[in-house]
Structure 1
C-alpha cells in the first residue's frame, strides 16, 4: 500500500502540493473475497502510482453493508473531513462504484460524491472502465453502475430470505435471538450432533445446520413457574418480573428481569415444540414490519415441549382479552372524560383509570402525551420547554465532543470515536472514556439562594465527565465543569460553586480552556509511571542491648 508522511489535518498546504495527494476509501462486506480491503488497496495503489498520486490517508469500513451510511463510520468521517475544508488531499480513490455504496436510492450515492466535488475533492473509481471526468459517457455508465449495485442488494436480499424460509420449513433454527430456557445445537449434513453453541458462537460450514434444544432443568422449571403464575394465579408481567428479581433468579442475559422478557416467554411457541419463522421482517435496513399469519413459517414438533399445550393456549387467550384495540377518536374521548372527572391529567392518573389505554399506547398513536393533551384542549402545568430543545442540545454536545476528539487526535495522537448517542468519546470496542452532559440550573427559592445545578449520574461511569452548566434562563451555556469519575452511590450530583472543590472539579469559561485541561489530563496520565517501592533500611542487629543514654549502658 502506497503511503507517505501523514500531515496533520489542520495543516494548510499549497494547492500544488494538495493536487498530488489522495485519500483512499475501502469497504469490505460479506459479498466475495475479491472485495477484501487488501485487494482493494493493492488495486488503488497501482492506480495511484500510474498517476503519480501519493496516498496520505486511509478510511476503512470492515464488515459493513453498503446499503446505508449510518453504520459506516469511515465514510461518514470522510464526508465530514471533506466538508470541513481542512483536508490535505484533492483526490478520493475508491475501488469501484459498489464499494462507494449500494444505496437503494441512487441519488444518495450521487449526493455524497457531489459533496466531495463541491469542496474541490475529486472521486475516482480505480477498477471501473471509465474515467469519472464528468463526460456524457462516464455519467451514463456511472448511473448504470449505481443502479446495478442497488439491484444486486435487492436480489441478494430476496434470495437469502427465500433460503431462510426453506431452511426454517425443514425444522432448523434460522437467526434471531433466543429466549430464556432455550439453546442451540449444531449438526452436520448427516444429522450428527457437533455440540451445543454458546452465546455469540455460530456455525462455520454451510452444510451444517442448527437445531433448537431446551435448556437446563432449572431454566425449564422457571419457565413453567412463569406460565403457572400468569394463568393460574393471574399475575401480570410486571409482578412476575419483580418476583423473579426478588428471588435473585438470573436470566439468560445476566440482567434483571423485565416485563418484556416475561411477555416474550408467554408468547413463544418454542415451549410447546413449534418453530415459527418470518413473524417479522426488515428488508435492506428499513423499518421492521409485522407479517400477517399466512406468511409465517411454522414447523411443529421440532423440539420436546416444555409447556402443556392447553396451558399455553390459556395464556394466549388471557393476553388477547387484555389487549383491546379502539380507534383514536375513542381514545381521545375517554381521555377527555377522565380529565372531566379528575380535573387534571398525569401519567399516574392515566395508568390507574379503568378503561383507559396505557401511556405507551397514547405515545405510539399521537407521538407524545402533550400532543394528545393538545387534541383535547388540555395544557398541563408542567414546563415542557426542555423537551422541545433536546435536539438542539444534543447537537451542541455532539459538536463539542467532535472538537475534543479532533484536538486529542491532532495534538496528542490519541484517537477517540464519537459514541452512538453523540454525547461521549470512547476507544474502538471499549467503554466510554469522556462523557458530555448539559445540566440545567435549578429554580432559586429566594434571590439570595445559592445557584445549584443537578447532574444525573449514569450507570456507566466514565473517567472524565464534562458538564455544561446553563444560565438562569437555561438557554445559554454559562461555563464548563470538568469532573473526574465521581465515586458516589447517589444517582444525582449537585454542582454548586462551593461543591466543586470537594469533587476535585475544574471550572472553565471557554471551550478552548476545556480542551487544554482535557489534554493536560491525558498527557499527565500517559507520562505518569508507577513509583518504585523504597527498600527498607535494614540495619545489622547488634548483640548488645539497645540504650538511649550512658546511664543505660552502665
Structure 2
C-alpha cells in the first residue's frame, strides 16, 4: 500500500482551477488476501496510465480481499459512489485497472449502473489495462459489454469448479470450511497424512497439498458432549434445561460464551460426533440466497472422524427430535385447541405457547387468518381484545411504506445508498442500520400513571430505532420517537418523562421525523469527534507536532 499512497495528493492540497480537469481517483481491488501484490501491480499500471495522460491521482479507494460479485461489503466502491453522488468528489476521472476490477457482477446491468452514476455526475471511468478507450463509441460499448459478460462468466465457472473440488475433498473425508461445534478441533495434515499441527480459530492451511481433518477435543469436552446426549435421550431433558445446567456449572461453549438451546440443538444434530462428515447440505452460489440441497446430492463420509458418541444413542436422539415436529391438519389443530380450552377453561397466547402438543399462535394466525377467527371456529370468545393480532399486517404495511419514504429521501437529498431489508429496516453504507418498530400503549394502572410503551430491540446491530407510538385505543399513530440504539437495553420502556434519559427525540409528523434522521446522518458524516486535551501533559519541545504524532522528513 505504500506505493499506492505515495501517488496520492492529500485532500488539503490546493491546486489551480485550471488543473481540476486533470485530477483523478483510482479504484483498486483484490479478491483474496493471498493476492498480496495485486494492489501494488494495479497501482503501478494506473500510475503509468495517468502519467501518459497528464492526470494527477488525488484519491485512492481500496477493497482488499473483497469479491467483485456484488457491491455488499466493498467499502471502497461504496464510498466512491457516495462521494460522486453527493458532489464531494474533487476529481472527474476514476481510473480502474480493468473491467473485472470494477466488478464481476452476475447482472452486467449492475456494473453498467455504477458506471452510469459516475458518468451522470461528470466523472469519467477509464479502464487502464484494456485495449479500448471508454469514450462511449460503438466499438468501445460493444467490447466493454463483452468484457463484463466474460468477467461474470469467469466467476460463475470458477464457482462451479471450486464447488466440485470441495465435494471431492469432502468425499475423501477431509474438512471443507464451516464453523466447528463444541468438542472438536481441526488438524492440518500433509499429503502423506502426517500431522502438521492444530489449527486455531481463524487459521487456515498453508499449502494446496495440505488437508484438514477433524479430531476429538480434550477429554473434558468429550465428556460434556456425551453428557448432553445422555441428558437429552435418557433423562428426557429439553434443550433449555441442558443449557441452563451447563451455564450453572460455569462450562463455556466453544466460543467462551454461555450456552443457549440452539447451541445444544446443533450438537444433538451433528453427525461428526458419530464419525460422519457431511457436506453440501446447503449452498450459496455467488452471493445468492442460502438454499437447502436435497439429500441425494449430500456428500457423506462415514469414517472421517473418530466417533465420541454411541451410534445407537445418536439415533435415539434423532428420533426424539423428529417426533417433536408433526404436520397437523387444520381440523386437528382446532381439535387440540378445543381440548386445551376444555382443560384450562380459557385461552391466551401464554396458554397456547406453554401447552405441549399445541401449535404456536403464529401457526393459527397463518392457517386461519387471525387468532380471533380460530377462536370463533371453536366457539370461544376471548375476554381480551385480539384486535392487535388482526392488525399486525396493517401495521407491517404502514412501517414498510414509512421505511420506503425515508429511504427515498436519504437517496435523493443526501445521496446515501440505502437498502430496505426485512423488519422492516434500512441498511445504509458503512454498516449503519435504521429499524422501524410500531409499539402499543400499555394499559394504565391508574389515573395518575403516565402513558408507557414497551419496546423490544431484537437485534443489537441497529444504530437508530424509529418507533411510531400508538394512541390509547392503539388504532392510530400518536407520535414518533427516535432512539440511538447503542447502549440501549434489549427491552425499553418509553414514556414522555423517560425520553431524555434514553437520548430519545419525539416528533409529531413524518416530515419532522425525516428531517431529524437527515440531521443525524449529516452530523455523523461531517462532524468528526474531537479528542479531549489532557491536562498536565507536557509536549516535548524537540519533537515537531504532526498529525500522526511522528516527525515528517
TM-score normalised by length of structure 1: 0.74
Using a 3 Å threshold, how does the CA distance of structure 1 residues 522 and 120 change in structure 2: closer, same or farther?
A: closer
**Cα deviation digits, residues 368-407 of structure 1 (max 9, x gap):** x99665997989322646544545459859988999999x
Which residue does 2:386 correspond to in 1? 380
**Cα deviation digits, residues 455-514 of structure 1 (max 9, x gap):** 77899799xx9787878768687787889968xx895465645884xx596979985987
Conserved in 2, the CA contact under 8 Å of 1:28 and 1:36? yes
SS in 1 for 2:433: coil
Which residue does 1:176 correspond to in 2? 178
**Deviation, structure 1 residue 361:** 6.4
**Deviation, structure 1 residue 302:** 2.5
Q: Please list, as runs of the form range in 1=range in 2, the aligned pairs for 1:3-18 lying within 5 A after superposition.
A: 3-6=8-11, 18=20
Which residue does 1:19 correspond to in 2? 21
Tell which deviates more after alignment, 448-457 or 178-187: 448-457
Conserved in 1, the CA contact under 8 Å of 2:8 and 2:60? no
Using a 3 Å threshold, how does the CA distance of structure 1 residues 231 and 458 change in structure 2: closer, same or farther?
A: closer
Name the CA distance, whole Å, in 1 between partners of 2:493 and 2:322. Answer: 45
Equivalent of residue 531 in structure 2, options 516, 526, 529? 526
Tell which deviates more after alignment, 114-123 or 197-206: 114-123
Which residue does 1:50 correspond to in 2? 52
Q: Which structure's CA Rg is the greater one?
A: 1
- Structure 1 unmatched runs, 5+: 407-416, 424-435, 534-554
Conserved in 2, the CA contact under 8 Å of 1:461 and 1:485? no
- Structure 2 unmatched runs, 5+: 377-384, 417-427, 508-514, 539-553
Which residue does 1:85 correspond to in 2? 87
SS in 1 for 2:387: coil
Name the CA distance, whole Å, in 2 between partners of 1:340 and 1:313. Answer: 33
Conserved in 2, the CA contact under 8 Å of 1:401 and 1:422? no
Conserved in 2, the CA contact under 8 Å of 1:67 and 1:103? yes
Using a 3 Å threshold, how does the CA distance of structure 1 residues 136 and 33 change in structure 2: closer, same or farther?
A: same
Aligned length, in residue pairs: 493
Using a 3 Å threshold, how does the CA distance of structure 1 residues 353 and 402 change in structure 2: closer, same or farther?
A: farther
Conserved in 2, the CA contact under 8 Å of 1:508 and 1:514? no
Which residue does 1:148 correspond to in 2? 150
Which residue does 2:431 correspond to in 1? 420
Which residue does 2:216 correspond to in 1? 214
Is 1:116 aligned to residue 118 of structure 2? yes
Using a 3 Å threshold, how does the CA distance of structure 1 residues 143 and 513 change in structure 2: closer, same or farther?
A: closer
Name the CA distance, whole Å, in 1 between partners of 2:452 and 2:239. Answer: 40
Conserved in 1, the CA contact under 8 Å of 2:99 and 2:144? yes
**Cα deviation digits, residues 233-273 of structure 1 (max 9, x gap):** 22222222222223322111122212221122112111111
Name the CA distance, whole Å, in 2 between partners of 1:7 and 1:370. Answer: 65
Is 1:127 aligned to residue 132 of structure 2? no
SS in 2 for 1:255: coil
Tell which deviates more after alignment, 254-263 or 349-358: 349-358
Conserved in 1, the CA contact under 8 Å of 2:25 and 2:57? yes
SS in 1 for 2:169: helix
Equivalent of residue 105 in structure 1, options 104, 107, 112? 107
Which residue does 1:542 correspond to in 2? none
Tell which deviates more after alignment, 253-262 or 344-353: 344-353
Equivalent of residue 94 in structure 1, options 75, 93, 96? 96
SS in 2 for 1:195: strand
**Deviation, structure 1 residue 140:** 1.3
Using a 3 Å threshold, how does the CA distance of structure 1 residues 438 and 387 change in structure 2: closer, same or farther?
A: closer
Name the CA distance, whole Å, in 1 between partners of 2:81 and 2:373. Answer: 42
TM-score normalised by length of structure 2: 0.74
Conserved in 1, the CA contact under 8 Å of 2:233 and 2:316? yes
Name the CA distance, whole Å, in 2 between partners of 1:302 and 1:47. Answer: 53
Which residue does 2:255 correspond to in 1? 253
Using a 3 Å threshold, how does the CA distance of structure 1 residues 230 and 128 change in structure 2: closer, same or farther?
A: same
SS in 2 for 1:528: coil
Using a 3 Å threshold, how does the CA distance of structure 1 residues 123 and 483 change in structure 2: closer, same or farther?
A: closer
